[in-house]
Each structure stands twice: as C-alpha cells, then as structure tokens.
Amino acid sequence: MTAEVAAPANREQDDPYLWLEDVTADNALDWVRAHNQPTLAEFCDGDFERMRTEALEVLDTDARIPYVRRRGEYLYNFWRDARNPRGLWRRTTLQRYRTDSPDWDVLIDVDALGRADGEKWVWAGAAVLDPEFTRALVNLSRGGSDAVIVREFDMTTREFIADGFTLAEAKSDIGWADPDTVLVGTDFGPGSLTESGYPRIVKRWRRGTPLDEAEVVFEGTPSDVSVSASVDRTPGFERCFVGRSIDFWNSEVYEVRGSELLRIDTPTDATVSVHREWLLVELRSDWTVGAGSYRAGSLLAAKYDEFLSGARDLRVVFEPDEHTCLHQNAWTRDRLLLVTLADVASRVEIVTPGTWRREVVAGIPPATNTVVVAADDIGDEFFLDSSGFDTPSRLLRGTDAGQLEQIKSAPAFFDAENLDIQQYFVPSQDGTSIPYFVVRSRDAVQPGPTLLGGYGGFESSRTPGYSAVLGRLWLARGGTYAMANIRGGGEYGPGWHTQAMRENRHKVDEDFAAVADDLVARGITTVKQLGAQGGSNGGLLMGIMLTKYPEKFGALVCDVPLLDMKRYHLLLAGASWVAEYGDPDNPDDWKFIAKYSPYQNISATRRYPPVLFTTSTRDDRVHPGHARKMVAALQAAGHSVWLYENIEGGHAGAADNEQAAFKAALSYSFLWRTLGGRA
C-alpha cells in the first residue's frame, strides 16, 4: 500500500486522524488520491473491466422499465442512459406509454443544463404545482449531495423563470401553497438550521418579495432534527400542515388555521397522514386511547375533523401478527392500498374507506417483492412493481376496481432458470429466529464464494427483489448470495426495529453473525469464502463485523459507512440519528456505544480479513471522514485495507450510471479476488 501522507503537526492527540475530516483540504485530498491509486491498480484488471461493461449495459439499456408518476393528464419519468448520463425529465400520455417505444416529451435535459451552467448537476426531483401542472420547483444537486439549489421552471415555455422562486444551495424543504406562494425551510442565516443541519424555521414566501421578508409560519428548536410544511390543495379539503421532527422517530404535526396551530394529538412516534376526510395513524408503539388499546404496527383510521375536535372513534385497518407486518400504504382518490409482508413476502390489498373492507389484489406471484411505485390520489390509478430474486420486474397498472394489467416488463439480464432460492431461519444469541434467503445456481460448487448482505437499522426492510447487476456480476459467475433479515429492520414491523435500538444495538450484530455461522454450518460456504457487504448503517455493521467478528469472514465491503461513533453526531446529519444509536456525549450512552464503535475498537493483534471501504467526497449525509480515518487507523495497526473515494456521488456513492457501474465492478472484483474465485 502507498505510504501515509503526513498529517498536520497540530492535530489533536486523542484522534490522530481528525485532520481527515476536513473534506476538501489539500492534504486530505492528497491522502485520498494516494489511497485510491493502489486500490484501482490492484483490482481494475481485465475481469473488472468485463464486469464494469456488463453492469453499465444493465444500467444504460433502453429495455429498462421507465417508471412513471401521474400528474394530471401526463405520466412523468426521469431517465438516464449512455446518451444522457445525467438524465432527462420527461413526460408522455398513458396511451403512448402503453406502446413499446413511447413518444417522450423532454422537459429538462440535465446534461445540457449542466453544460450551459458549467456545473455537474445531479437531478434531485421537482415539486409540481397542481392542479395547474404548469410550474415546477426543480431541485438540482452538485455532485449528488443532499444539499440542492432550487429554481422555478415553466413547464409550458420549458424555461427557468428568471425572477421566479430560487434558493441557494442548502438542505431545503419547499413546496407550493398556491401559484404565487411557497412554504419554505432553508438556510436563512445564523440560527436558522438545527444541530442536524436541516431547516429549523418555515416561512411563507410570496412571489415578488425578498426571501428575508418572508413571514415566519413555524419554528422548531435547535435540538430538533428538522421542521417541514405541506399544503393539501384538494378542492374542498384545502389544508396547511407543519411539523417538527423532535428526533428521528418522534414528531409533532399541526394544522395551520390562520394564526392558530391545531395539534394532531397522536403518539409522537406514530406516522400520521391525512387524505380528504380521513386520518390514518400508523403506530410504532402500543397506544391506549379512549376505550381502545391498539398494538404497535397497527394502522388506524378516523374521520379527521372529528378526531381534531376530540373524538377518538378509531377503526383498525390493519393489525400485525407474529409473521405479518404493514410494509406500505398509499391512497388513490377513493381507495387505500396496503402492502404487507408475511415472512418477508409481499401481499397487496385494496381497502374501502368507511367499511375498511380489505380485498386481496389477484395476480401477484408468491415470494416476491411487490411495491406501490405510484398512486394517483386524485384519480383511481396505481402502479405496482413486482419482482423476485430470479424474476425481472413487471410493472402492473391497476385501478380501484382491483384489476391488474401488465404494461411493462424488464428483460432478464442474466440466466436465472437454474437458480435455487431458499429461505432459512437461524436462532440468534438470545434465541430469536432470524430469517435469511440464499440464492445460488443449482450447479454452483458447494461450499463456494458467498456474499452476505445486511442492513439492520432505521426500520428499513430488505426484501427479495431482482438485481440485474448482482445477478450478472455474482450469481451468473457461480457466486452464492445471502440476504439477512436481521433485527433493526422492519421486516416484522416496528418491534423488529425497536428491540435493537440504542443499548440493544448488539442484537443487530449478533443476528448477522448467527446467519454467517449458519451459512458455514450448512456447508453453503466456508469462512474463507464468505464475504459480506453493507452501506451507510449497513457500513457500520460491516465495521463491527471487522472489529468484533473478524474470524467469521473472508472479506468485507464497507460502503459510505458510519464508523467513528464517538463523533458521528458532530458530523453532517449525524445528530439526527441520536435516537437510533444513542448520544456519545452522555456517559451512560457511551458505555454501550463504546463496546461496538469500530473506530475505537481496532486491534493490532487480531487477524482481520481484507476489507474495501468506499465513500464519496460529496457525501453530505454520512461524512467521508468515517471511512478515511478508519483506513488510516487500520493501516497504522498493520492491517490490509483498501479505499476508494469517489469525488462525486453523494450518499449514493455514484452520481450517474457510469460511476455506479464502476463502483459495482470494483466491489465484485475485490470480492472475487479475496474469496478465492475469479470473475
């Protein structure tokens, strides 16, 4: 490996690599380049190049499904391909969309816009004014960061409005109140952001007036994660809402009526939504109110105005059981869609408000991942995407009547005919049964190279969907893939997550280690052939596997990770995750965090498997200093470690398809090399 670039002489003695947190300092970037070079030299060989080409073919192909969202008479789509690496924002009609080659009307060419502006813009979405559908607030990011600029766009003239609503680069929250007014939270200057770096103040900004004269609508506190606002412009149900996220899991929501704030008095850890006359409450903890007691994971409904007036006539729309949880819900105008998971397999139902009668939507294969990708809340249309480990995506269009029609399908990017898919369960250290999937060719050598994926945090569920890049670069080459549904996720509802938070975080690691052991015990793989990969919170999991369970793995890939848990809350958006992990500044919390924080638990005497860290200079959510400092400390302790830091990419690690293909090929090249196989 390349020798260390010298650190400044005045660095803090308790953290000798603190200087690497200075993201764009010359000496830190010199250090990054010095570590990128040997990684690329080692793993970017002929096998890498073949995999990069195959991955890029998948990401760029015109045969992909162009997913859409309805706004009025048009279906909108954002599309990247080889000719348009930064993408096109475009639209078409349903009639044209049904054809094999729709006639797309391009609204914004992001590549052309970037060339005109001299910027490498990354598309970050658009808020469209409805029901007029003639204006949009377009969000553009430099290099893929969470911070964006905002520009008002005229969808009729296809031009940005010179004197329209614009915002400088910030982590802003902005939306339409009416054609001449927006509600905005942004960086208004000193004191206007929370400790997490998000808006603390919401203002009502009227067209033609300076931003600094906008009227304050709502203020949170510096310790809140963020505040936000939204306007429901449904005729007959016009309402304005504001909310404060107290922490990642607790929030308060209010309706704004003139100068009055009316609290929607539900548990702060519940998710609330309002549609026409209905209030929905999704519980994360048990709730006793009025004459009723309701289980965590339940979905409740009430008449909104009656609830606001004090009535507590709640109806149970969904109640979980030992195997089934609520995964997703979405409204059309007159129906509610529910997606549930039963032992991690999807089921879709249509619910009739008032009676709350549920009907199963027919035509969805078992053991698949099916999600609502779009629902028209002013019409009766919805779109579902359904796929499985061995089944490419199908786009299904439905209406309130419940009839599904397949209107698009993705091609098979690898031969999955001989794949075998099994679901296993293994007891964790405390006896809890942990499910995981194993996907491999029936002809695969056993034991053989195996990649185990996991996340385990923030109630985020891992489901059995189709991944063409994984299929091409790993499964089709004889590798086995395992997906662990460990605690910390939401595969069995909020309790699957809450039992592994804060001081119980160790259960996430124990679950993942139990799956790793079971893969070896079943003869699917060996320790030397077992690799694991995870990103963000899953990158923290990989760091813990490295420092706490190194003897269980042959290699690890650690993407955009949290690793220094003593300082995570001081870096970028880290303060927003204190409710998940605990507060390192609280001595009682630090006692349990210190036991697993990877950066503080590096050993110079234990044998570690090879590890590849990836991050992005432009990641303004999880600080790239986590990966940089971990690499430096591991090298100082004498361990084999590799780093690749992409200059662009944000928290996704890649700003376009070419960068995504490069990053995927690099990871698989590393895994094939270190796990004893060849791609």
54-111 confidence digits (pLDDT tens): 999 999 999 999 999 999 999 999 999 999 999 999 999 999 999 999 999 999 999 9
Domains of the chain: 18-57+428-676 (3.40.50.1820)
CA distances to 1, 85, 556, 627, 671 from 535, rounded to whole Å, are 24, 24, 11, 11, 15
CA atoms in the 13 A half-sphere facing the CB of 311 = 11
Binned at pLDDT 50, 70 and 90, residue 677 comes out as: low
CA atoms in the 13 A half-sphere facing the CB of 554 = 22
How much is the pLDDT for 364?
83
How much is the pLDDT for 131?
81
Strand stretches in 494-569, DSSP E: 530-535, 555-559
pLDDT(679) > 70: no
Binned at pLDDT 50, 70 and 90, residue 143 comes out as: confident
Mean predicted lDDT score pLDDT of the chain: 94
Instruction: State the Cα angle at 661 between 655 and 663, rounded to 5°.
Output: 75
Binned at pLDDT 50, 70 and 90, residue 35 comes out as: very high
How much is the pLDDT for 362?
86
Asked whether 543 and 510 are in contact (CB, 8 A), the reply is: no
Binned at pLDDT 50, 70 and 90, residue 119 comes out as: very high
Tell me the mean pLDDT in the region 665-674: 98
Distance between CA atoms of residues 436 and 472, nearest Å:
21
Count H helices and E strands in the chain, helices first.
Answer: 13, 39
Could you list the active site residues? 536, 651
62 Cβ neighbours under 8 A, 6+ residues apart? 81
**Other beta carbons within 10 Å of 222:** 12
CA distances to 198, 562, 573, 602 from 569, rounded to whole Å, are 14, 10, 7, 20
* Strands lying side by side in the sheet with 433-441: 419-427, 433-441, 480-484, 450-453, 530-535, 555-559, 611-616, 641-646
Percent of residues, the chain, with pLDDT higher than 70: 97
Tell me the mean pLDDT in the region 235-252: 96
Per-residue pLDDT tens digits for 177-225:
999 999 999 999 999 999 999 999 999 999 999 999 999 999 999 999 9
Distance between CA atoms of residues 106 and 290, nearest Å:
53
Instruction: State the Cα angle at 99 between 94 and 103, rounded to 5°.
Output: 75
Binned at pLDDT 50, 70 and 90, residue 291 comes out as: confident
DSSP class of 101: S
